[in-house]
């Protein structure tokens, strides 16, 4: 029998708001080990009306991000809920930027390849400066909702949070 009785752990390639340890800590109650990584054959887009990015396959392009290691099944479930229906979890091969080793990881790829709201490049440094603080507050709201029996999808939490924010 293979080690299927052992708890599964996963690698997850992150490239947007989850590059921020503060966001990961709110979601998972810890900061897992991570390493810089490169995903070839994809592009990181900005999304009109959203503060987080999307990735889609694009030839001759690449996305710099990081791989979170040792993600447990319950943690992967939390990330699935957080990424919600806008993304689909896909298995990808990434290159470690520290050793150039190739490794398998999960990545959350935008569901709508023809989305007219995708444009340009998403900038993590700008996101940290402009949106990180409010995004962390929204993420705290999401994790509190997740505890409830009738929790809202993350997109609904995001939209209600940022609508409130706009009214202030």
Task: Give catalytic residues, as residue numbers.
Answer: 83
**Is residue 100 within 8 Å of 65, Cβ to Cβ?**
no
Residue 52 to residue 44: CA distance in whole angstroms = 10
For helices 21-28 and 132-146, give the axis angle rounded to 10 degrees: 10
Residue 120 to residue 116: CA distance in whole angstroms = 12
Residue 97 to residue 114: CA distance in whole angstroms = 30
List Cβ neighbours of 38 (8 Å cut-off, separation of 6 or more).
Answer: 62, 63, 64, 65, 94, 95, 97
């Amino acid at each position: 029998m293979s080690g299927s009785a052992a708890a599964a752990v996963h690698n997850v390639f992150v490239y947007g708001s989850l590059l921020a340890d503060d966001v990961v800590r709110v979601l998972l109650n810890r900061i897992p080990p991570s390493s810089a990584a490169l995903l070839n054959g994809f592009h990181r887009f900005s999304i009109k009306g959203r503060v987080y990015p999307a990735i889609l396959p694009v030839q001759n392009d690449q996305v710099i991000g990081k791989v979170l290691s040792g993600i447990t099944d319950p943690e992967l479930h939390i990330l699935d809920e957080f990424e919600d229906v806008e993304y689909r979890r896909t298995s990808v091969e990434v290159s470690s930027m520290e050793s150039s080793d190739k490794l398998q990881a999960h990545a959350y790829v935008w569901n709508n390849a023809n989305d007219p709201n995708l444009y340009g490049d998403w900038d993590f440094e700008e996101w940290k400066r402009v949106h990180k603080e409010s995004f962390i507050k929204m993420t705290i709201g999401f994790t509190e909702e997740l505890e409830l029996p009738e929790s809202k999808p993350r997109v609904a939490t995001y939209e209600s949070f940022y609508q409130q924010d706009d009214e202030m």
